[in-house]
Structure 1
């Protein structure tokens, strides 16, 4: 049930959307913290690590949050250091797998065909045995 005036104990930046979110405290039970972000909504995780993180990183409800520091833009790679698509295709074309990884098709076919004959023969014997018993009754 939604509480009309929750116990707001602090605020911090949302890790997901960088909005200002409230850190609230439950009014019953263990008095666990939870967060409310206007965009991402509520986070009620109760693990010790996240509870400690919220307690250590929140600021007072009336305090100003630090301004977001923009992350530096990714630098463009040096064209001499990057591989082109043609280079990659040439490297793949030159690569040969070790011989022990290459399939031996003739050996696989003979093994599977022999196994098939054994299974087929076993099924025929079982059917023949049941057929003899059924005719005796």
Structure 2
């Protein structure tokens, strides 16, 4: 099959892109809100009551918050795919920046996703990267479909 014979997915319209982004953030913003709530609660406790939880108790609260948030964010990314998967892959690879719960929950994004149809991959490469007159087989000596 040639690039002209492959049915490329139609690009999203501007309203569809906006709707997709809004739907993603509707699911993820509560996670951010939950973090802010925990932080605010701990700050209020310290300022108003003059009490501060010990380091171990705080660590337990934050670990629980990370665990809950990682589940929600991972599910949203898996459901929305595309750009969000790429962001999730970056998060998964940066154990130095993100909590362990997030990097672990998102680690499967690098190799557990359903692959894109090989013919579509070849068609995209042909259409977007090859010069006129070049064929996929001219440019690539081999192409592992696994």
Relative to the length of structure 2, the TM-score reads: 0.22
Which structure has the greater CA radius of gyration? 1
Relative to the length of structure 1, the TM-score reads: 0.23
Query: Normalized per residue, which structure has more helix?
Result: 2
Query: Normalized per residue, which structure has more strand?
Result: 1
